[in-house]
Amino acid sequence: MIDWQDKLSSVVQELKPSGIRQFFDIVATRKDCISLGVGEPDFVSPQVVIDHSIQALRDGYTHYTGNAGLLSLRREVSRYLEKEYGLSYNPEKEILITVGVSQGVDLAFRAILNAGDGVLYPEPCYVSYDPMIRLAAGVPQLVHATAENDFSLKARNIAEKVDAHGARSKALFLNYPSNPTGASIGKDELLNIAKLAEEKNLIVISDEIYGELSYEEKHIPFPTLPGMKERTLLLGGFSKAFAMTGWRIGYACGDENLIKAMTKIHQYSMLCAPTLAQIAAEAALKYALGERDKMRDEYRLRRDLIVKGFNDMGLKCFMPQGAFYVFPDIRGAGRTSMDFAKELLEAQNVAVVPGTAFGASGEGFIRCSYATARREIEAALTKIAAFVKG
């Protein structure tokens, strides 16, 4: 008999199961549930992307690509970032095509961290950051984004956590617009954060997967701030803005030394991102920007609908600037966020995610995704209002 407790990595054994997964195991058992839970577009990928991919398969594109990804796609990513944000990256040296932003996060930590190095990151946050830091032998240094600031991250809160837990901070991880709150960071605060990164000599890893889903203000990528391009790794992807979650494709852009280090790991662990997904991503950037904008405009309508709905029923909900999540305040409901979500599911068959799935600081809030049709959102709001009243 093998004693697996003894054989499995202790870091892996100590990882907690994802709070989202735990909750959705419960949701999966229910029929006719209205879900505001999932963090992925309800839209199918743009037809032009699908058509190009089918043609590519017929044409025999079934082989590996180079480790960094198709040069034609890297060129297209470079053109896209230049056109959208005036950012200039050399497609031959400064761009790596990854298996979603997820792999970009993993490679970035593994490329920069020695055992015991600290990484500052905001909470509440997307579920993968803490485990990925730990798997790379780093020390998570959590910075709270607070309800008082509508969950928008502040430089002063980051400064308080530099070198926390006895670990020298090597990197600052950002995610804006944020999952789970939808909060972005304004220009002035971004400049404060940039100043701090400079003073503390931090590498910045910026997960901007929701950048294109910014509603009022144009998104400001971190590397566009003065002096930040050389110290920032920009992570972007196709899952959200182009409704391409299942293709598993994204990109990392940054200094050629960092990209080279990440590519070294990638060549052994992954070899290359899926060829078909690379072709699909290239088609998305060439032909699907109109579709992207149409989906963004629809999300904006849904956001306005859902924010009003929550405020009308007395659950305070700030207006998020981007992504497709709202984070209403349920602190007045006299329950933990997990109990609120479980009881709502039980009473009204509506699924939301407890804020604590995104870290302890999410207590008192629930995450609702509006990547679902407006009539579903309306039906869910009616049911949640009945639950809150009852």
CA atoms within 13 A on the CB side of 89: 35
Q: How far is the CB of 313 from ligand PLP (least distance, A)?
A: 26
207 binds ligand PLP (CB under 6 A): yes
102 binds ligand PLP (CB under 6 A): yes
Give the phi and the psi of residue 326 in degrees, each rounded to 5: -120, 160
- How many angstroms separate the CA atoms of 163 and 169, rounded? 5
Q: Which candidate, 297, 330, 304, places its Cα nearest to that of 316? A: 330
Q: How far is the CB of 37 from ligand PLP (least distance, A)?
A: 12
* Of the residues 65, 152, 175, 184, which one makes contact with ligand PLP according to CB under 6 A: 175
78 binds ligand PLP (CB under 6 A): no
- How many angstroms separate the CA atoms of 157 and 231, rounded? 20
- How many angstroms separate the CA atoms of 300 and 87, rounded? 26
User: Using CB under 6 A, which of the segments 71-79, 96-104, 304-312, 370-378 binds ligand PLP?
Assistant: 96-104
User: Using CB under 6 A, which of the segments 100-108, 142-150, 256-264, 355-363 binds ligand PLP?
Assistant: 100-108
Our CB check for ligand PLP shows the closer of 207 and 212 to be: 207
User: Using CB under 6 A, which of the segments 48-56, 81-89, 98-106, 110-118 binds ligand PLP?
Assistant: 98-106
Distance of CA 41 to CAs 23, 74, 201, Å? 19, 25, 37
User: Using CB under 6 A, which of the segments 95-103, 182-190, 225-233, 270-278 binds ligand PLP?
Assistant: 95-103
Q: How far is the CB of 295 from ligand PLP (least distance, A)?
A: 16
106 binds ligand PLP (CB under 6 A): no
* Of the residues 67, 157, 224, 245, which one makes contact with ligand PLP according to CB under 6 A: 245
Residue type present at position 70: L
Q: Does residue 40 come out as left (phi exceeding 0), alpha (psi in the -120 to 50 range) or beta?
A: beta
Interhelix angle 256-269/100-112, nearest 10 degrees: 110
Q: Using CB under 6 A, count the residues that bind ligand PLP.
A: 13
101 binds ligand PLP (CB under 6 A): yes
The first and second tokens of residue 117, run together, are 């190095």
239 binds ligand PLP (CB under 6 A): yes
Binding mask 20-49 for ligand PLP (x = CB under 6 A): -------------------x----------
Cis omega (within 30 of 0) for bond into 177: yes
Q: How far is the CB of 84 from ligand PLP (least distance, A)?
A: 18
221 binds ligand PLP (CB under 6 A): no
Q: How far is the CB of 102 from ligand PLP (least distance, A)?
A: 3
In eight-state DSSP terms, residue 321 is S
- Return the residue matching tokens 């699907």: 288
Say whether 350 sits in a helix, a strand or coil: strand
Residue type present at position 36: L
Q: How far is the CB of 126 from ligand PLP (least distance, A)?
A: 4
Q: Exposed, middle or buried by CB within 10 Å (0-12, 13-18, 19+), for 198?
A: middle
User: Using CB under 6 A, which of the segments 58-66, 94-102, 131-139, 266-274 binds ligand PLP?
Assistant: 94-102
Our CB check for ligand PLP shows the closer of 43 and 167 to be: 43
Sort strands 366-369 and 353-354 into parallel, antiparallel or unpaired: antiparallel
The first and second tokens of residue 286, run together, are 């060439």
Task: Give residues 132-171 in contact with ligand PLP (rule: CB under 6 A).
Answer: none
- Length of the chain measured in residues: 390
Q: How far is the CB of 207 from ligand PLP (least distance, A)?
A: 5
Our CB check for ligand PLP shows the closer of 237 and 320 to be: 237
Q: Are 19 and 357 in contact (CB under 8 A)?
A: yes
Provide the sign of the torsion angle of the four alpha carbons 296, 210, 229, 124, taken in this order: positive
100 binds ligand PLP (CB under 6 A): yes
Residues that bind ligand PLP in the complex, under the rule CB under 6 A: 39, 100-102, 126, 175, 179, 207, 209, 237, 239, 245, 250
